[in-house]
Amino acid sequence: MQPTEQFPFIFSQERKYRVRRHLAFWGFWWLFQGVLYSVIGYTGKPIYSVRLLDSFAESAVYMIAHIALSFALMYFVIPRFLLKQKYWLTGMWVLICFLGAAAISTILSATIIPEIQQLIMKDDAFGQYLKKRATFQVHLSLMAGLRGAITIGGIAASIKLMKLWYVKEQRNLQLQKENAEAQLQLLKAQVHPHFLFNTLNNIYSHTQNTAPVASQLVMGLSDMLRFMLYECNHSQVPLSKELKMIRDYISLEQIRYDDHLDVHIDLPGNTDNLAIAPLLLLPLVENCFKHGTSHMIEQPWLSLHVTLEKDRMNVKLMNGKTNEVINNKYKGIGIVNVRKRLDLLYPGKHELTITDEEEVFIVNLWLQLEKLPLTKKETGSFKLAYHG
């Protein structure tokens, strides 16, 4: 179970939970500040109830600076600089945020706070004294504001970082579990590669002259199986090989349709050593044939368009379908697994949009990829013949 499902109040990004978290946190901070500063330096005058009321009012005002600082750290400094390992910029922005919060607190202590104390304690002389003290002893106000900023900023940033660390650890554990299950399923279904490819090689040799179409099918199947057995053991594979496997799969389907399938494929020629999680795109393409084109008696069609913008891959996949196809078929286990893998492997680095219209099914996916360091130049295609 994911942290967002197990502890939604703490980890869920839904608006209602986020609002509740912030209300609970700032409500506690307001009460804590109010009670703490009502007893610090208390001499018995005025009566404690008045002092407590004044302390709660001041705490509410100073929270303007505290909330601004905390939000700047949690939603600007940490995600944009610290998590991207830009430590010098992180330190610079943390200093700017702390000094900014201290400056805001100083302005509040020289303007609003004396008015509040004068109103609650009904002491004009004391209010004027506070204004003069805040005006002429700016350094003391700055130090007091900086002390409060460091306290609340440190608490807010610590909570944010602990949440991020916990979610990352849970995601890693989930990935390990998914990989273990996938390897177990592969072992259950795996045929010894030597036997498999030698058998396919023998079939290919016997059909090359007598049945060229069957020979072509065997060769395409051999390429796909080789990719699945030998390449997919890694967490990432070259994007060029993943796209070639997709093209081979579509080519096999075209032969099955006896060239009645209208296919438009546009794939990038240069993938610039980009890498992708293996077999991530195949379920999407397979879903088009399983639930779309296979149900069309006349003019089945499929369109696949893949483009690269630096390390960002954009995929647009469309296929025709008939009205008889039940819409929820497109929400089967293949699509669900793709969404889970994307959430686990590319958190915050992808967007999958599926549109199910009356006569067309559209998949739009963008994915931020990473480069795979290669020790040798990747070759373009597999060889059928197996050399054991």
Whether residue 230 contacts residue 269, with contact meaning beta carbons closer than 8 Å, is answered with: no
DSSP 155-218: HHHHHHHHHHHHHHHHHHHHHHHHHHHHHHHHHHHPPPHHHHHHHHHHHHHHHHHH-HHHHHHH
Strand (E) or helix (H) holding 106 = helix 87-121
pLDDT value of position 283: 85
> What superfamily would CATH give domain 192-371?
Histidine kinase-like ATPase, C-terminal domain (3.30.565.10)
pLDDT value of position 379: 42
Cα separation, 249 vs 253, whole angstroms: 6
Exposure string for 275-293, b = 16+ CB within 10 A, e = fewer = bbbbbbbbbbbebbbebbb
371-377 LR contacts (CB < 8 Å, sep 24+): 371/272, 371/273, 371/274, 371/275, 371/311, 372/236, 372/237, 372/238, 372/273, 372/274, 372/275, 373/273, 374/238, 374/273
Cα separation, 250 vs 289, whole angstroms: 9
Burial class (CB in 10 A: 0-12, 13-18, 19+), 355: exposed
Domain-wise residue ranges, the chain: 3-182, 192-371
For helices 48-72 and 87-121, give the axis angle rounded to 10 degrees: 160
* DSSP class of 352: E
The encoded tokens of residue 178 equal 């998914």
pLDDT value of position 382: 38
Alpha carbon distances (Å) from 110 to 56, 133, 140, 353, 372: 18, 8, 12, 53, 57
Cα separation, 128 vs 114, whole angstroms: 7
Cα separation, 10 vs 2, whole angstroms: 12
Question: pTM, whole model, 2 decimals?
Answer: 0.51
**3-class secondary structure, 317:** strand
Cα separation, 95 vs 230, whole angstroms: 51
For helices 138-189 and 333-345, give the axis angle rounded to 10 degrees: 140
Cα separation, 388 vs 370, whole angstroms: 33
Beta pairing class for 360-368 and 370-371:
unpaired
pLDDT by residue for the chain (388 residues), tens only, comes to 566 667 777 877 788 888 999 999 999 999 998 898 888 766 667 788 888 888 899 899 999 999 999 999 999 999 999 988 899 999 999 999 999 999 998 888 888 887 887 788 776 666 566 666 655 667 777 888 888 889 999 999 999 999 888 888 888 888 888 777 776 666 555 545 555 666 666 666 667 766 776 766 777 777 777 777 666 667 788 899 889 888 888 887 777 776 677 889 999 988 888 999 888 888 888 888 776 665 555 678 889 999 999 899 999 999 887 665 444 444 556 788 888 888 888 988 999 999 888 778 899 999 999 887 655 444 444 343 333 3
Cα separation, 44 vs 42, whole angstroms: 6
Cα separation, 351 vs 35, whole angstroms: 47
The encoded tokens of residue 323 equal 């009205």
The encoded tokens of residue 53 equal 């009321």
pLDDT value of position 213: 67
Cα separation, 81 vs 83, whole angstroms: 6
